[in-house]
Structure 1
């Protein structure tokens, strides 16, 4: 959702179009496949200058020590696990042989490790709650715009938020 907001606001994404829209994400993923190899190959980072790139939390610590501005999306881990399981089921793939509670614990440790990394890095970080994007997109758009130096179309950013796509909400099943 944040990538959709940033692109709608006027920023160019670094994406390769390899993963298009599907039932889980009808607006598309705006991903760049080479980010998956960040641990072993960061030669593509020069292509990212001046653009927005989606990097999953587990790979942030492999960014070279430079100055970055990172919009760090935080989501309830129960929702993350449910979303991942649903996507795997739809694609016919087998997920991890771990319980939801075990996956939540694993994800929590990964987020804690990345938090420590980011605190020690030169990166400027803005943490944004996923739920805040749904509940108050105008406030989030304004905050992100300020963080990134201004000039984004906040109205278009707000319009990019589609609450109907918020399907894996925490709470009773």
Structure 2
């Protein structure tokens, strides 16, 4: 079956979630620097990264199909928690998240014919208190090393999540309902 669009992402989690929409797509893998600009708000940052990835993917796409891309960040006390830079940094992140709430922002962007439309989903996630030993074991599992905020809700990190208000799939990396609506509103999927 011919693809309807491209996904500009190396994330296996995004691919798995997007496959749940049961629409054919192919991958394109642009290289976009993920660096926050001075004075850039968390909302502006995550939306810009999604747009940049979609537009860079469109420039690489072998066929003139729409390109979908996304980015996910974790925000606590107004600070963006990127991927951990090592064990000490990862454990410091987990300490900040322990026993409290934070926001997970996922932006999706669709680029086609020189246009780019997007959607932003913010979900409130509350962690139960964690012990130092739990945090150390979790870090040593290897799971948090490449994840925004230093955890993965869909894996071992899910056991620390006491509550979410919003979209579970957005926390994983692709808001299903909103992404499907974006694809429909831009004419990629039929109603």
* TM superposition score normalised by structure 2: 0.29
* TM superposition score normalised by structure 1: 0.31
Give the number of the structure with larger relative contact order, counting CA–CA contacts within 8 Å between residues 6 or more apart.
Answer: 1
Q: As a proportion of its length, which structure holds more strand?
A: 2
